[in-house]
Structure 1
Amino acid sequence: MTKATDNSIMITAIDLFKAQQFEQVTVNDICQACGITKPTFYYHFSNKDQLISRYFRGLVEQLPAQLRCQNGAQNPLERIYDFFQQTIQVIQTLGPDLYSQLYISNLKSNQHTFDFSEAINKYVTELISQAQASGLINNPASAVTLYRNSVFLFEGYEINWCFQKGEFDAFSATKQGLAVLFVTNDVKDTTD
């Protein structure tokens, strides 16, 4: 690699993290795989934690623009579910171990990895408002409140997914939780 970019370093590092454990991969390993020096790495990233945080945020922040192009015919509630499903797919590409590392990194020093961008906040909040106006969401709380609580609900399922090493369908669980929060007709009693 003759000219390192943030993206090329991130992609190489993520491949290394997936092949080995995050903690086992050193900055030297990343530099060697990229053909760069340590100063070059540190020019782009302050550490491995910042690298995975920026990689994840970059993937998630692309979602609203992608989804606007893909799902124009869906109703607003389906589009909300689709946003969360696409976010879960991003998480699943990292896998439970690497996604767990994002939480660990943010517990050590808040990397703001899980702060959704203004574009994401606006996109989902507008969809919630539209779904409320069309009677698809029956919870009368403000769209902002519902959005904030949907994010907390989502993060809870994702943390649990990490704890269980990806052994359950995170989207089905999230969708059911959102249906309960939103008070939709999609609510199914899963207590047996």
Structure 2
Amino acid sequence: MDYRERRKEQARQTEAAILQAALELARANSFDKVSVRDICQRAGITTGAFYHHFRSKEDLLSRGFAPLDRRMEEALSGHEGDPPPERLWRILSTYAAFIQDQGWELVARYYQRRLDAPDDASSMDPTRYTLRSMVDCLRQAEEEGLLLPGWSVEWTADFFFRHFRGVVIDWVLHRGSYPLLPKLEQDYALFREIFQTR
């Protein structure tokens, strides 16, 4: 690995450490009560390093879901050959577990931040691993003749994300008072009907 690659990897690790520290502190104390200094101390970095990666504490929220893609990649590794309905459930259940791990308050702040910056469409960026994985899964289902005709792969993937984002918002409105995964599992039992069984 050359110098430039090492620096890039080091920057990625520092950013991940900052996000992880902020998440842990926010879970314990609420996001409003966590200071940049607290985050830096927990991550073992200087405040200068923090501001090299993030403009502010609020800026963390814009990129707070970036670790989802890494977690999704780990969850799907070795399952590329699974049937599409099983792989789709793995995608959705990993998404639900990730969201629940963030805690309802932090997720609420994330969505508030998105509402305050409506031009930020990063969560549905088509290059993101999570969205690409779902599209690939549904495309395979279509190629195998498993997807019901009349709905495009892209529309179906978008529908899933819109629906499950709604479930997450309902969970936030209920202040995380019920476990998210069983709720999504119930919904998925219905959504499996998009696959034609032979």
Same fold (TM over 0.5): yes
Does 2:138 match 1:128?
A: yes
Distance, in Å, in 2 between the alignment partners of 1:132 and 1:92 is: 31
User: RMSD between aligned alpha carbons?
Assistant: 2.8
Q: Which amino acid aligns with 1:114?
A: S
Judged with a 3 Å threshold, the aligned counterparts in structure 2 of structure 1 residues 173 and 157 are, in CA distance, closer, same or farther, namely same
User: Bigger shift: 18-27 or 31-40?
Assistant: 31-40
Q: Give me the TM-score of the superposition, normalised by structure 1.
A: 0.79
Q: 1:114 aligns with which of 108, 123, 143?
A: 123
Distance, in Å, in 2 between the alignment partners of 1:81 and 1:34 is: 33
Distance, in Å, in 1 between the alignment partners of 2:41 and 2:72 is: 35
Q: 1:31 aligns with which of 40, 50, 71?
A: 40
For residues 98-177 of structure 1, the aligned pairs below 5 Å read: 98-110=106-118, 111-112=120-121, 114-118=123-127, 119-177=129-187
Distance, in Å, in 2 between the alignment partners of 1:136 and 1:167 is: 36
Whether the aligned pair in 2 keeps the contact of 1:138 and 1:182 (CA below 8 Å) is: no
Instruction: Report sequence identity in percent.
Output: 25
Whether the aligned pair in 2 keeps the contact of 1:150 and 1:178 (CA below 8 Å) is: no
Distance, in Å, in 2 between the alignment partners of 1:24 and 1:109 is: 22
Judged with a 3 Å threshold, the aligned counterparts in structure 2 of structure 1 residues 138 and 103 are, in CA distance, closer, same or farther, namely same
Instruction: Tell me the alpha carbon deviations over residues 96-138 of structure 1, each in whole angstroms, 9 at most, x when there is no partner.
Output: 1111111112122255452245233332112112223435432
Q: Which amino acid aligns with 2:33?
A: Q
Residues paired across the two proteins, number: 183
Judged with a 3 Å threshold, the aligned counterparts in structure 2 of structure 1 residues 20 and 68 are, in CA distance, closer, same or farther, namely closer
Does 2:37 match 1:45?
A: no
Q: Once the 2 structures are TM-superposed, how far is the Cα of residue 56 of structure 1 from its aligned partner?
A: 1.9
Q: 1:76 aligns with which of 75, 84, 87?
A: 84
2:21 aligns with 12
Judged with a 3 Å threshold, the aligned counterparts in structure 2 of structure 1 residues 166 and 135 are, in CA distance, closer, same or farther, namely farther
Instruction: Tell me the alpha carbon deviations over residues 124-182 of structure 1, each in whole angstroms, 9 at most, x when there is no partner.
Output: 11211222343543252100011111110010001111111223343343344455456
2:93 aligns with 85
Whether the aligned pair in 1 keeps the contact of 2:64 and 2:110 (CA below 8 Å) is: no
Distance, in Å, in 2 between the alignment partners of 1:85 and 1:134 is: 23
Q: Which amino acid aligns with 1:9?
A: I
